């Protein structure tokens, strides 16, 4: 929602009915297949993928027809990421069973830590929601871990569910809080890699 506020207009494709109900914008289309099909002739298109969608499959679907490579914005909760990352538990049975019946939930058989790793490693920009509520030492540890997992991504702190924000130390996302997510996406991520890195991604995945 923070990204949508920064865009003057956008068509949003969502893979989750709950996400569609939560968005106030009129241009919201729910996709029901394994991957979204982008409408032609539109300007800004944001894909809000299913929580268990595989970023590489969303990217492949959105680059067909000669379109420019999409950008992936990965949003994670700074308060709980480290606990979920270290957990070896599987997804709750109810979530797994629902995922088996949903073509959009590509990663329903994976553990939460595996899902988080795939989304983080594919991202161009990583937004840390609720960063103001996270322990300061743990937040620094989290940012260091994210930069190690994906040195090419920009890491952006956001307050609450994504309102205001600032770049984490070492990020190249800019200094102004306003427009930070959009600026980071336009710049393509954080530091330039020392060697060419093949990366996949979609516009937006919420974990």
pLDDT digits (tens, 9 = 90+) for 56-93: 888 888 876 666 777 888 988 999 898 888 888 899 99
The backbone torsions φ and ψ at residue 20, rounded to the nearest 5 degrees and listed phi first, read -65, -40
Q: Is the pLDDT of residue 163 over 60?
A: no
Q: What mean pLDDT comes out for the span 150-168?
A: 72
* Rg of the chain in Å (alpha carbons): 16
pLDDT in tens, 29-66: 888 889 988 777 666 788 888 889 998 888 888 876 66
End-to-end Cα, the chain, rounded Å: 14
pLDDT in tens, 172-184: 433 344 457 777 7
Q: How far apart are CA 15 and CA 13, in angstroms?
A: 7
The backbone torsions φ and ψ at residue 120, rounded to the nearest 5 degrees and listed phi first, read -65, -45
Residue 72's Cβ-count burial label (10 Å; 0-12, 13-18, 19+) is buried
pLDDT in tens, 82-121: 888 888 889 999 999 999 999 999 999 999 999 999 999 9
Q: Tokens standing for 16?
A: 């989750």
Q: Tokens standing for 193?
A: 């890699």
Q: Is the pLDDT of residue 200 over 70?
A: no
Question: What confidence category does residue 16 fall into, taking pLDDT thresholds of 50, 70 and 90?
Answer: confident
Q: What mean pLDDT comes out for the span 153-169?
A: 66
pTM for this predicted structure: 0.76
């Amino acid at each position: 929602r923070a990204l949508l506020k920064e865009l003057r207009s956008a068509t949003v494709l969502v893979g989750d009915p709950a996400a569609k109900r939560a968005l106030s914008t009129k241009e919201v289309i729910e996709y029901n297949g394994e991957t979204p099909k982008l409408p032609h002739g539109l300007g800004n298109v944001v894909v809000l993928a299913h929580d268990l969608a595989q970023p590489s499959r969303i990217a492949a679907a959105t680059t067909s027809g000669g379109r420019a490579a999409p950008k992936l914005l990965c949003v994670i909760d700074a308060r709980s990421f480290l606990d979920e990352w270290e957990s070896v538990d599987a997804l709750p049975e109810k979530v797994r069973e629902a995922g088996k019946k949903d073509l959009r939930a590509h990663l329903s058989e994976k553990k939460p830590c595996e899902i988080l790793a795939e989304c983080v490693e594919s991202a161009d920009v990583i937004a840390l929601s609720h960063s103001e509520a996270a322990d300061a030492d743990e937040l620094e540890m989290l940012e260091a871990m994210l930069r190690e997992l994906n040195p090419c991504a920009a890491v952006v702190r956001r307050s609450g569910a994504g309102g205001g924000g600032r770049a984490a130390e070492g990020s190249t996302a800019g200094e102004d809080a306003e427009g930070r997510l959009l600026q980071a996406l336009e710049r393509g991520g954080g530091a330039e890699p020392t060697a060419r890195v093949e990366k996949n991604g979609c516009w937006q995945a919420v974990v």
